[in-house]
């Protein structure tokens, strides 16, 4: 299987979960394991580009497929992925345990919904549990991530967002009005 | 926890799947795995053999058949949710998808897997029952259609034989009013109780060992739901009445 663009060895045992294979065999401990029954969302990775629960897949099922983990979003020292940047700016985390799962879910969510409404954001993050933030800052982070993603020079929304401060102040204000 | 040991098979054709199911004792079919893998992780299921059908080509189809829509064994719930064909022919199915777990789960989960799993609190068996749909079961002995009314036997039990693979589910075209409503503790959870109204039929879920058809004028008649930590039997009966009023008014 390809993990973050690199061909990696297969799991030796068919009952090895993809989450455990990533963490224990490949050393990619950014993928967290919470509940192991698909409820908490901590172990979310991209499987052929779509977010899935890695605790609900066997590693052998990923043979011939592409997996992207949180480690694959940005190289060490390089600029953060827009979704990571947005979580950083909007304090979309406290203890950080759920964060890799949230970030991977949101990466997949924004691919399908580049300009999400607040209702769509709630729906989009409903499959991930956070016990620290109360979700308000995560909602803002998703909104900010959508804006950062569209801020590329060719993005059609780039012009209207040029006044936005890098710290995302406007986003926070708007979030608090809700 | 982690899955118990099992022999793993990844057949590349339906014939190969059927041959395996006809010879192996105590085999389970693995499709989307969104119900089966949690059961394995909890060790509530300990099959000796796991037949993974994900490498079988041409089973993810969603197509028009006999005036309805047919959904292949590997059609993911997300694909059905996004299908314009499904939205046109059977919009109830499209609407139902939003109640089935979360989008991330629906990326892997399958319609046919939900039906074969036969969880009495899940939406899809009740939708198939209300619509009067059927499934196609394939084995080395041949193929047969099983009407929804004969498919669901009990909690996690269907009338599929151990050597049969559920290859397709068929949902008839929908005309007229339809609605689905459920109550759950958290969005995306299994329902405490739910009702489906379609084609003039009312189906209930979460209130018996299988989905059941009910008289919309007296939906709780003869119903004896069980109680658990989340809801008492009386509360479930109350929910059925309220939810029925809601779907009939929709």
Domain boundaries, given as residue ranges, for chain A: 2-72, 82-177
pLDDT tens-digit readout, A111-170: 999 999 999 999 999 999 999 999 999 999 999 999 999 875 444 443 344 333 333 333
Tell me how far the alpha carbon of residue A16 is from its chain's centroid. Answer: 23
Q: Give pLDDT, residue A152.
A: 53
Task: Tell me the DSSP string of chain A.
Answer: -EETTEE-PPPSSTT-BHHHIIIIIS--TTS--S-SSSSS-TTEEEETTEEEEGGGSBGGGGTTSEEE-GGGTS-TTSPPPHHHHHHHHTT--SS-SSHHHHHHHHHHHHHH-SS--HHHHHHHTTTS--SSS-SHHHHHHHHHHHHHHHTSTT-TTTGGGTTS-TT-HHHHHHHHH-
Domain boundaries, given as residue ranges, for chain B: 7-52, 62-172, 178-249
Q: How far is B105 from chain A (nearest CA, A)?
A: 6
- Chain A residue with minimum CA distance to B38: A37
Q: Select from B4, B107, B188 the Cβ nearest to the Cβ of A126.
A: B188
Q: Give pLDDT, residue B1.
A: 82
Q: How far is B172 from chain A (nearest CA, A)?
A: 29
Q: Given 3-state DSSP classes, what are the helix, strand and coil percentages for chain B, each rounded to the nearest 5?
A: 30, 25, 45
Q: Give pLDDT, residue A174.
A: 38
What are the angstrom distances between the C-alpha of B204 and each of A177, B123, B132, B156?
Answer: 40, 9, 14, 16
Question: Which of A50, A98, A37, A36 lies closest to B104 in space, CA to CA?
Answer: A50
Whether residue B46 contacts residue B69, with contact meaning beta carbons closer than 8 Å, is answered with no
Report how far apart the first and last C-alpha atoms of chain A are (Å, whole number): 44
Report residue A72: phi and psi, to 5°.
Answer: -85, -5
Q: Give pLDDT, residue A12.
A: 85
Query: pLDDT band at B42, cuts 50/70/90?
Result: very high
Mean pLDDT of A60-69: 97
- Chain B residue with minimum CA distance to A41: B104
Q: Select from B41, B42, B104 the Cβ nearest to the Cβ of A51.
A: B104
- Which string of b and e fits B142-181 if b means at least 16 CB within 10 Å? eeeebebeebbeeebebebeebbbbbbbbbbebeeebbbb
Query: pLDDT band at A41, cuts 50/70/90?
Result: very high
Query: Between chains, do B107 and A123 touch, taking CB under 8 Å as contact?
Result: no
DSSP, collapsed to helix, strand or coil, labels residue B52 as strand
Query: Between chains, do B37 and A57 touch, taking CB under 8 Å as contact?
Result: yes
**CATH code reported for the domain at B62-172:** 3.30.465.10
The count of other CB atoms within 10 Å of the CB of residue A76 is 5
Residue B59 has pLDDT above 80, yes or no: yes
Q: What is the mean pLDDT of chain A?
A: 88
The count of other CB atoms within 10 Å of the CB of residue A143 is 22
Q: How far is A156 from chain B (nearest CA, A)?
A: 25
Whether residue B192 contacts residue B231, with contact meaning beta carbons closer than 8 Å, is answered with yes
Q: Select from A15, A52, A109 the Cβ nearest to the Cβ of B2.
A: A15
Structure tokens at A134: 């109360």
Contacts of B81 (CB under 8 A, 6+ apart): B94, B97, B98, B106
**CATH code reported for the domain at A82-177:** 1.10.150.120
Q: At what angle do helices A136-150 and A82-89 cross, to 10 degrees?
A: 140
Q: Select from B40, B52, B103 the Cβ nearest to the Cβ of A127.
A: B103
- Of the candidate CATH numbers 3.30.390.50, 3.30.1280.10, 3.90.1150.10, 1.10.3210.10, the domain formed by B178-249 belongs to 3.30.390.50
How many secondary structure helices (H) and strands (E) does chain B include? 10, 14
Residue B2 has pLDDT above 70, yes or no: yes
Q: What is the pTM of this model?
A: 0.91
Residue B79 and residue B106: Cα distance in Å, rounded?
Answer: 8
Architecture of domain A2-72: Roll (3.10)
Architecture of domain B7-52: 2-Layer Sandwich (3.30)
- Chain B residue with minimum CA distance to A45: B104
């Amino acid at each position: 299987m390809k993990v973050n663009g690199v061909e990696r060895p297969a799991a030796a045992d068919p009952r090895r979960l993809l989450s455990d294979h990533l963490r224990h065999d490949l050393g990619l401990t950014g993928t967290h394991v919470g509940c192991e029954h698909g409820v908490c969302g901590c172990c979310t990775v991209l499987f052929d580009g779509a977010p899935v629960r890695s605790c609900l897949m066997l590693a052998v099922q990923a043979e011939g497929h592409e997996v992207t983990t949180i480690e694959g979003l940005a190289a060490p020292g390089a600029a953060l992925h827009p979704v990571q940047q947005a979580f950083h700016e909007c304090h979309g985390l406290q203890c950080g345990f759920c964060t890799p799962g949230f970030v991977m879910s949101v990466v997949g969510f924004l691919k399908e919904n580049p300009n999400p409404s607040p209702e769509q954001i709630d729906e989009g993050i409903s499959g991930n549990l956070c016990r620290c933030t109360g979700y308000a800052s995560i909602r803002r982070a998703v909104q900010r991530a959508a804006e950062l993603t569209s801020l590329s020079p060719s993005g059609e929304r780039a012009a209207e967002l040029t006044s936005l401060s890098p710290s995302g102040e406007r986003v926070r204000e708007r979030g608090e009005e809700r | 926890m982690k899955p118990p040991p099992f022999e793993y098979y990844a057949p590349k054709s339906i014939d190969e799947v059927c041959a395996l199911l006809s010879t192996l004792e105590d085999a389970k079919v693995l499709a989307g795995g969104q119900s089966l893998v949690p059961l394995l992780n909890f060790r509530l299921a300990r099959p000796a053999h796991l037949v993974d059908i994900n490498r079988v080509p041409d089973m993810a189809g969603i197509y028009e058949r006999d005036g309805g829509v047919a959904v292949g064994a590997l059609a993911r719930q997300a694909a059905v949710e996004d299908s314009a064909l499904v939205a046109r022919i059977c919009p109830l199915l499209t609407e139902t998808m939003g109640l089935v777990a979360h989008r991330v789960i629906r990326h892997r989960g399958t319609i046919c897997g939900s039906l074969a799993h036969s969880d009495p609190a899940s939406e899809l068996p009740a939708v198939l029952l209300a619509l009067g749909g059927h499934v196609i079961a394939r084995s080395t002995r041949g193929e047969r259609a099983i009407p929804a009314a004969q498919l669901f036997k009990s909690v996690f039990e269907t009338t599929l034989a151990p050597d049969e693979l559920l290859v397709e589910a068929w949902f008839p075209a929908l005309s007229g009013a339809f609605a689905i409503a459920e109550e759950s503790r958290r969005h995306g959870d299994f329902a405490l109780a739910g009702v489906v109204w379609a084609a003039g039929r009312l189906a209930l879920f979460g209130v018996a060992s299988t989905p059941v058809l009910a008289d919309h004028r007296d939906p709780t008649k003869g119903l004896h739901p069980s109680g658990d930590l989340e809801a008492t039997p009386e509360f479930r009966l109350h929910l059925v009445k309220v939810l029925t009023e809601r779907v009939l008014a929709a």
